[in-house]
Amino acid sequence: VAMVRILALPITFLVVGYFLVPVYMRQRVTSAYQLLEERLDLSVRLLGVAMFLCLRLVWMSLLVYLASKALIVMMGVDETYIPWIVLATGLVSVIYTSLGGLRAVVVTDLIQTILLFGGALLVLGVVTWDFGGFGWFPTEWQANWDPQPVFSFDPKVRVTAFGTVLGVVCWYVSTAGGDQVSIQRFMATRDADAARRAYATQMAVSAVVVVVLFLVGLALLGYFRAHPDWLPEGTNLRKDADDLFPLFISYHLPPGISGLVVAAMFAAAMSSLDSGVNSITAVVMTDLLERFGLRPKTEKAYVLAARLLAFGIGATIVVGSMFVKNIPGNFMAVTEKAVNLLVTPIFSLFFFALFVPFARPLGVWAGWFCGTTTAILIAFSGPIFGYNPVTGYDPVSFQWIAPSALTVNISVGLIVSRILS
């Protein structure tokens, strides 16, 4: 699945670079959500802002929770320690973000990125040294891997190559076309060609990340298959795959090196956390306070309000992370279920505002409601309709969340808007 994701990146670049970027580059606005009010109305703008805030909060809560869950595996303690780990991670990120602003975010992101890649390469090096070469690389399909056909009409099939490519394309396109940060990044460039080059660089980096993490996963699988006696009693390579990385760090690396890899893992979480807090603060101050004339009168009051808001966001993330554990599935499935609920509905708002001349606010709202409902029904099809008695998986694969929600959203919105027009 990981390597198949790379096939989606060129498709994504073509759609974003030559379909979305030229349109967005003609729109010179301070806030991306200002476009929604200009083309539709205020209610759609507020809907976009609300969904963006929810998406960022859910995303950050998820990252902090998953990083904290990995750390308790390394420490060998129970899950009652998760709130304290979450609190420490969130507090550090919010403090340097609120006090240092965007400059602190950029500098720390650079350091954290170096730690992240360094940690991953270190794991590959240690495993390769242990094997005396690349004997850990599998040459045949492993027994603990799920079947992954190229395509299947059966929605119960958990992963297919087609579903992976389609889901990744939907996610990247929706993020590029509906995320405040992505849109402002386009608008900050000189012209469409410069924006395309910047996005091509982003896609290239994404491909490198996918390959490195793919190799780390294979290396860990080969390592524990070669040393099954080093797994804790009751640990299963299939069901407990999420625990292999923290177990390796905790028990099979020297103390100093293991600390470096732990820092790398939390660097990934904090990198998204600090940039997320900064972007949420900017949206709230611009699209809510300034839009309704509530901007603090003095610069000192403005800075204080932004810092207090950042701390409030941090507290919300800590509380929200406590609910993430109720989402069923492994790390990948939980991420898909939590994030894809809102990514495509946000993009649909911009799709109607910029590409549908006859779009009507009521039609956009109807499409959003139906698309979001579809995403929820698929993401939580197991708890709602019952799990597959044979595999224990959801009756509808998580890979269909984004494509189905986007299709329903746009279809309903187009039909209702056409009727009203």
287-306 pLDDT tens trace: 888 888 888 888 888 878 87
Closest CA to 347 of 291, 405, 303: 405
Cα distances (angstroms) measured from residue 276 to each of 90, 102, 296, 350: 11, 11, 22, 21
Name the strand (E) or helix (H) holding 38.
helix 34-39
* Residue 236 pLDDT exceeds 90: no
Contacts of 191 (CB under 8 A, 6+ apart): 25
**What pLDDT, on the 0 to 100 scale, is given for residue 298?**
86
φ/ψ of residue 61, rounded to 5: -60, -40
More confident residue, 172 or 116: 172
Closest CA to 120 of 221, 49, 227, 213: 213
Segment 241-245 mean pLDDT? 84
Most confident region among 176-190, 295-309, 333-347, 353-367 by mean pLDDT: 353-367
Say if residues 28 and 284 touch (Cβ distance below 8 Å): no
* Residue 62 pLDDT exceeds 80: yes
Cα distances (angstroms) measured from residue 122 to each of 14, 72, 114, 212: 34, 21, 12, 11
Alpha-helical segments (H) within 380-420: 381-385, 401-420
Q: What percent of the chain has pLDDT over 70?
A: 90
Say if residues 174 and 7 touch (Cβ distance below 8 Å): no
Contacts of 242 (CB under 8 A, 6+ apart): 70, 330, 331
The whole-angstrom separation of Cα 97 and Cα 207 is: 28
The whole-angstrom separation of Cα 77 and Cα 38 is: 53
**What pLDDT, on the 0 to 100 scale, is given for residue 239?**
79
pLDDT-based confidence at 104, cuts 50/70/90?
A: very low
Please, what's the b/e burial string for 117-138 (b: 16 or more CB within 10 A of its CB; e: otherwise)? eebbebbbebbbebeeeeebee
The whole-angstrom separation of Cα 215 and Cα 201 is: 21
Local structure of 387: helix, strand or coil:
coil
Segment 318-326 mean pLDDT? 82
* Residue 105 pLDDT exceeds 50: no
* Residue 271 pLDDT exceeds 80: no
* Residue 383 pLDDT exceeds 60: yes
**What pLDDT, on the 0 to 100 scale, is given for residue 349?**
95
pLDDT-based confidence at 133, cuts 50/70/90?
A: very high
Say if residues 17 and 173 touch (Cβ distance below 8 Å): no
Most confident region among 223-232, 269-278, 309-318 by mean pLDDT: 223-232
* Residue 345 pLDDT exceeds 50: yes
The whole-angstrom separation of Cα 16 and Cα 414 is: 21
The whole-angstrom separation of Cα 373 and Cα 344 is: 12
* Residue 276 pLDDT exceeds 90: no
28-54 pLDDT tens trace: 766 788 889 999 999 999 999 999 899
Number of domains in the chain: 1
Segment 279-283 mean pLDDT? 79
More confident residue, 206 or 15: 15
Task: Note the residue count of the chain.
Answer: 421
Range of weakest confidence among 84-88, 92-96, 250-254: 92-96
165 exposure class (CB count in 10 Å sphere: 0-12, 13-18, 19+):
buried
The whole-angstrom separation of Cα 340 and Cα 406 is: 10
Contacts of 289 (CB under 8 A, 6+ apart): 295, 296, 305
Say if residues 83 and 403 touch (Cβ distance below 8 Å): no
pLDDT-based confidence at 340, cuts 50/70/90?
A: confident
φ/ψ of residue 24, rounded to 5: -70, -30
- Average model confidence (pLDDT) for the chain? 84
Name the strand (E) or helix (H) holding 337.
helix 331-355
Q: What CATH number should be reported for the domain holding residue 408?
A: 1.20.1730.10
**What pLDDT, on the 0 to 100 scale, is given for residue 182?**
82
Domain interval for residue 56: 2-420
**What pLDDT, on the 0 to 100 scale, is given for residue 107?**
55
Residue 177, amino acid: G
Residue 50 structure tokens: 């609300």
Residue 350's CB is within 10 A of a number of other CB atoms, namely 25
Closest CA to 135 of 216, 222, 211: 222
Closest CA to 20 of 219, 242, 186: 186
Say if residues 136 and 127 touch (Cβ distance below 8 Å): yes
The whole-angstrom separation of Cα 190 and Cα 124 is: 40
